[in-house]
Amino acid sequence: MNAFAAEHAVEWTYRIEAFGGTFVEVVHDGTRDGTANVTLTAGGAAARLSRVLDGRAYFEGNASGLASFAGLKAADSSLEAGKWLYVPQDSLYFQSYANGLTVSSAVEQLYLGGTVAELPPTTLDGRKVLEIHEALKSKGTTYSMNVYVRSAGRPLPVEAVLTVNGVPGTISYGPWGIPPSAKVPKGAIPFRAVWVAGS
């Protein structure tokens, strides 16, 4: 994935449809900044969270999104819903909220840490691609990932299918090279560690 790591920017979308719900995460990564919007829709209700990385990590969501995706306690999720919160780089929680918002951290997500095998070339949406299969079993959870990489030109990923305990999700990559518009939200308030569930 050296070609991926050398890129200045990428847009990618992660989508899962399972258990009567739809999870969609739309991410735009740069070298040092990025944006992400995630929604989980089930039974007509939606959990929503937005994140921005620009020096600090910022996030904002509705009550269910703050509880489900940001890990906040239910009471604090309700109180802080709709407000932009910021996490400074020296916070123990910074990496958690900034994860996936830079090209380098997006590359890391393609490594499961288990067995890796290169499969025979195949086609994806009419395009010839190389296929890499990864597998890992950890703490009772079974992971597998098939990464499809361009077979011509720069070997950048086109798509990845991540399966966790038999439930597949698809990550689609591109376009590449367009910097994200990561603007610091106005009126953001400091994140407090005591809001996190279990703290």
pLDDT digits (tens, 9 = 90+) for 31-78: 999 999 999 999 888 999 999 999 999 999 999 999 999 999 999 999
Instruction: Could you please state the CATH topology (level 3) that the domain comprising 2-195 is classified under.
Output: outer membrane lipoprotein receptor (LolB), chain A (2.50.20)
Q: pLDDT-based confidence at 2, cuts 50/70/90?
A: confident
Q: Classify strands 141-150 and 157-164 as parallel, antiparallel or unpaired.
A: antiparallel
6, two tokens:
């050398």
Give residue limits of the domains in the chain.
Answer: 2-195
pLDDT at 1 over 80: no
Distance CA 37, CA 24 (A): 8
DSSP code for 61:
E
Assess whether the previous peptide bond of 179 is cis (omega < 30° from 0).
no
Residue type, 159: E
**Which residues are paired to 145 by β-bridges?**
134, 162
Q: Do 28 and 37 contact (CB within 8 A), yes or no?
A: no
Average pLDDT of span 174-198: 95
Distance CA 22, CA 146 (A): 21
DSSP code for 97:
H
Q: Give Cβ neighbours of residue 183 (< 8 Å, ≥ 6 apart).
A: 52, 54
Distance CA 191, CA 9 (A): 27
In the sheet that 21-29 helps form, which strands lie side by side, from edge to edge? 115-124, 127-138, 141-150, 157-164, 167-176, 10-18, 21-29, 33-42, 45-54, 56-61, 85-87, 189-190
pLDDT digits (tens, 9 = 90+) for 99-155: 999 999 999 999 998 999 999 999 999 999 999 999 999 999 999 999 999 999 999
Nearest CA to 48 among 61, 58, 60? 61
At 45 the pLDDT is 85
Indicate yes or no: pTM above 0.75.
yes
